[in-house]
C-alpha cells in the first residue's frame, strides 16, 4: 500500500501517468503482488496519523510505502511533530505486521540550512530506529532540475514519474517475496 500525499496521488497528471501506477506495472512483471494507492493530495503527517489505522484494517497490506511529510516541511511544521507523526504511522504499521518502506524528501534551500538538514535527517533516524528500508530521496536524480516539475514548481511532471519509480523500485524489489501481494486500487 502506498500511503502518501499529492506526489503519490499523481497531482496534475492522468492516473496512468503517476509513479504509483507505473510501479504497479513494474511489480506485476515479477510478482502476483497488488499495489493499493491510499494517497491524498494535501495530506500531512498528522492527517496520515489520523487515518492509518483504518487504512491498515481495510487493506491489510504486507508492505506500506510511506510517502508523507513534504506538505509538513513546506508549511514549516516543527521537526518534532513531523518525526512523531511519522513514527506513530510506522508503529501502527508494525503492529499490523506490515513492513514499512520509508521514502525521504528534501526541502528547497530557502527554508534555511538548519531546518532543511533536520528535516532530511528525520528519515535516516527513523529508518535506523525501526529497522526500515529507506529510499533516501524520492526525487533523486531530478529534484534540482526545474524542467522536471509542473508550473507550480512542486509537483513532478509525467516525465519525472519513471525516475520516481526507479528510486522506489531499487529498494522495493528487495522486499518482495514470491507470491506476496503488494495492490492497486482507485480512490
Over the stretch 59-77, which tens digit does the pLDDT of each residue have? Answer: 999 999 999 999 999 999 9
Conformation bin of residue 31: beta by default, left when phi > 0, alpha when psi is -120 to 50 = beta
Residue ranges for the chain with pLDDT beneath 70: 178-187
Calculate the CA dihedral of residues 77, 38, 99, 81 and round it to 10 degrees. 10
Sequence-distant (6+) residues with CB within 8 A of 44 are: 5, 68, 71, 72, 75, 77, 85
- In this prediction, residue 76 carries a pLDDT of 96
Mean pLDDT of the chain: 94
Residues labelled catalytic = 6, 152, 155
- In this prediction, residue 13 carries a pLDDT of 97
CA angle 141, 146, 149 (to 5 degrees): 85
Domains of the chain: 2-172 (3.40.50.1110)
- In this prediction, residue 185 carries a pLDDT of 39
Amino acid at each position: 500500500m502506498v500511503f502518501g500525499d499529492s506526489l503519490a496521488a499523481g497531482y496534475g497528471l492522468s492516473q496512468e501517468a503517476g509513479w504509483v501506477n507505473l510501479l504497479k506495472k513494474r511489480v506485476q512483471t515479477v510478482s502476483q503482488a497488488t499495489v493499493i494507492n491510499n494517497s491524498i493530495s494535501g495530506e500531512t503527517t498528522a492527517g496520515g496519523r489520523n487515518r492509518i489505522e483504518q487504512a491498515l484494517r481495510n487493506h491489510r497490506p504486507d508492505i506500506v510505502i510511506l510517502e508523507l511529510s513534504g506538505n509538513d516541511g513546506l508549511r514549516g511544521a516543527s521537526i518534532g511533530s513531523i518525526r512523531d507523526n511519522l513514527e506513530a504511522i510506522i508503529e501502527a504499521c508494525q503492529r499490523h505486521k506490515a513492513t514499512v518502506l520509508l521514502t525521504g524528501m528534501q526541502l528547497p534551500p530557502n527554508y534555511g540550512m538548519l531546518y532543511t538538514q533536520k528535516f532530511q535527517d528525520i528519515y535516516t533516524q527513523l529508518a535506523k530506529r525501526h529497522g526500515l528500508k529507506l529510499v533516501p530521496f524520492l526525487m533523486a536524480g531530478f529534484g534540482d532540475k526545474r524542467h522536471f516539475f509542473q508550473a507550480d514548481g512542486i509537483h513532478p511532471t509525467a516525465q519525472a514519474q519513471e525516475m520516481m519509480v526507479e528510486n522506489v523500485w531499487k529498494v522495493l524489489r528487495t522486499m518482495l517475496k514470491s507470491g506476496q501481494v503488494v495492490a492497486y486500487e482507485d480512490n
